[in-house]
Amino acid sequence: MQFTDTIQTLPETERIPGPMSLEPILKTENLWKLYHAGKVDVPALRGVNLAVLPGESLAIMGPSGCGKSSLLYLIGGLAQASRGRVLVDGNDLSTMSDAERTKLRRHKIGFVFQRFNLLPTLSAEGNIAIAQHLHGDGFDPHRFDVVTKMLGLEGRLKHKPSELSGGEQQRVAIARAIINEPKILLADEPTGNLDTKNSEIVLAMLRQLNKDMGQTIVMITHNPEAAAYFDRIVHMRDGVIVDGVPTD
Ligand SMILES: Nc1ncnc2c1ncn2[C@@H]1O[C@H](COP(=O)(O)OP(=O)(O)O)[C@@H](O)[C@H]1O
Ligand SMILES: [Mg+2]
| Tens-digit pLDDT profile for residues 227-237 | 999 999 999 99
Q: How confident is the model at residue 137 (pLDDT cuts 50, 70, 90)?
A: confident
Range of the domain at 202: 54-81+92-241
Indicate the pTM of the whole model. Answer: 0.89
Contact at 8 Å (CB) between 29 and 49? yes
pLDDT(29) > 50: yes
Question: Residue 205: helix, strand or coil by DSSP?
Answer: helix
Evaluate whether residue 171 is within a structural domain: yes
Contact at 8 Å (CB) between 89 and 108? yes
Residue 200: give its domain's CATH number: 3.40.50.300
| Average confidence (pLDDT) over 146-153 | 94
Q: Tell me which DSSP letter residue 191 carries.
A: T
Domain count, the chain: 1
Evaluate whether residue 10 is within a structural domain: no
Evaluate whether residue 176 is within a structural domain: yes
Evaluate whether residue 185 is within a structural domain: yes
Q: How far is the CA of 20 from the centre of ligand 2 (A)?
A: 30
| Average confidence (pLDDT) over 187-211 | 95
Evaluate whether residue 168 is within a structural domain: yes
Evaluate whether residue 206 is within a structural domain: yes
| Average confidence (pLDDT) over 185-195 | 96
- The pick from 69, 72, 113, 241 for probing ligand 1's pocket by mutation, whose C-beta has the most ligand atoms within 8 angstroms, reads 69
- Residue 5's pLDDT is what? 37
Q: Provide the angle, in degrees to the nearest 10, between the axes of the packed helices 124-135 and 141-150.
A: 130
Taking 3-state DSSP, the helix, strand and coil percentages for the chain, each rounded to the nearest 5, stand at: 40, 25, 40
List the residue whose alpha carbon is closest to atom 1 of ligand 1: 35
Evaluate whether residue 31 is within a structural domain: no
How many alpha carbons fall within 13 Å on the CB side of residue 118?
29
Evaluate whether residue 43 is within a structural domain: no
pLDDT(245) > 60: no
The number of the ligand 1 atom at minimal distance from the alpha carbon of 189 is 21
